[in-house]
Amino acid sequence: MDGTDFISQLFACPASLEIRLNRNLKEEDVVGASNAFIQCYTEWMMFGETFLKLSHGTLESINQDHDRHESKIRAMFFEWKRQKQESATPRELIEVFEKARLKGIKQLWFANYNPDKKKDDFFAKRNQYFGEIAQSGISVEHWTQILIKLQMQDMENFSERPNLNITRQRLDILHMWENRFGFIEASVEKLKASIKDVIGPDGTGTPLRCLTNQEYSQRRPFVLRKTWGTQIKVCQGCRQKIECKPGEMAVAHYEKATFKIEGKPVTELTNCHYHLDLDCIMIKWSNYDGSLWATEWELEDQEMYRVIMRGFNIVKSK
């Protein structure tokens, strides 16, 4: 079996699960899914409320009753199974991961059923390469271009997570990439090709021209985001606080911003955030036409109504 066949087989739905997709989940299934989710970079309480449909109070109780992160995640999945009155099926859990855009976590769950010891070597080599890229000293400008090629330009950048050094932040984004797209699509080969396209074989890359704010706006969409479980703080328009609580939404836009690191002002491309309010966005983007992407989750009818009533036009949805 060549490397491609091995990887395809490793992350395919295992036969032992496929024959009972519509039957009740076994305890071992829930444990396996929990173990896979431990590798997830999505905030677990937000995932539980948004995709498992558990109440905020239930999740707060789980958070208080368990000390270890792993225990909280396992309790969350078992509570979901319990609330489904033991009728939860493997197919339903697969659909949950797909709706949450966690293809990689679904594949990790599948891989847990595969006893092939070669998988440990596969993950070790992959993680080693990710680590090498994260600490390779790629310039901010080139890193931005690589993220665009990986379709990851919407990820939070270093300025939003000041407690992380840039190596750790880049490593996290690479793992978020595999969480979102899965291990087959988010391959080492694709990352190498993206880096080569941007930097070139001589390691210098094509000189990058500084784009205007208007050009950044045209290339990068305004994206609807949920605020709960994030570190979003201030609206870039009115400069007032953005509430990070269940049900609240904001608008993210990748643009130039100035912030401080260790007391020194730094101008960098980053995900800036605005209130879900046209007036706030138009303080900085006077020509904004209200076009909004809603691709991070499937909007409920009530959420859709709220967005439209505030004057936005959803041009791309999940």
Residues paired with residue 264 on neighbouring β-strands, in sequence order: 261
**Cα separation, 144 vs 273, whole angstroms:** 18
Residues 95 and 150 in one domain: no
Averaged pLDDT score across all residues of the chain: 83
Question: Is residue 46 in a domain?
Answer: yes
pLDDT in tens, 260-307: 777 777 777 778 899 999 999 988 887 788 888 887 778 888 888 889
Does the structure show a pLDDT above 60 at 196?
Answer: yes
Structure tokens at 56: 């905020």
**Cα separation, 249 vs 307, whole angstroms:** 9
- Tell me how many domains the chain contains: 3
Does the structure show a pLDDT above 90 at 141?
Answer: no
Per-residue confidence (pLDDT) for residue 207, from 0 to 100: 45
Among the ranges 82-91, 110-119, 178-187, 206-215, which has the highest mean pLDDT value?
Answer: 178-187
Burial 265-288 (b: 16+ CB within 10 A, else e): eeeebbbbbbbbbbebbebbbeeb
For the entire predicted model, the pTM comes to 0.63
* Angle in degrees, CA 305, 310, 312, rounded to 5: 85
Q: Where are the beta strands (DSSP E) in 166-312?
A: 223-226, 249-261, 264-275, 291-294
Residues 224 and 182 in one domain: no
Span of 43-57, 109-123, 152-166 with lowest mean pLDDT? 152-166
Residues 246 and 171 in one domain: no
* Helix (H) or strand (E) segment spanning residue 317: strand 313-317
Q: What is the CATH number of the domain that holds 305?
A: 3.30.1740
pLDDT in tens, 6-42: 788 888 898 989 999 999 999 999 999 999 999 888 8
Residues 194 and 218 in one domain: no
Domain end call among 199, 223, 246: 199
200-228: average pLDDT: 61
CA 164 to chain centroid, in Å, comes to: 17
Question: Is residue 184 in a domain?
Answer: yes
Domain end call among 111, 127, 150: 111
| Percent of residues, the chain, with pLDDT higher than 70 | 87
The boundaries of the domain holding residue 175 are 138-199
Question: Is residue 125 in a domain?
Answer: no
Per-residue confidence (pLDDT) for residue 143, from 0 to 100: 83
Q: Residue written as tokens 């368990």? A: 66
pLDDT tier, 209 (very low <50, low <70, confident <90, very high otherwise): very low
**Cα separation, 273 vs 223, whole angstroms:** 9
Does the structure show a pLDDT above 60 at 219?
Answer: no
Angle 166-185/3-10 helices, nearest 10 degrees? 90
208-220: average pLDDT: 51
Question: Is residue 187 in a domain?
Answer: yes
| Percent of residues, the chain, with pLDDT higher than 90 | 37
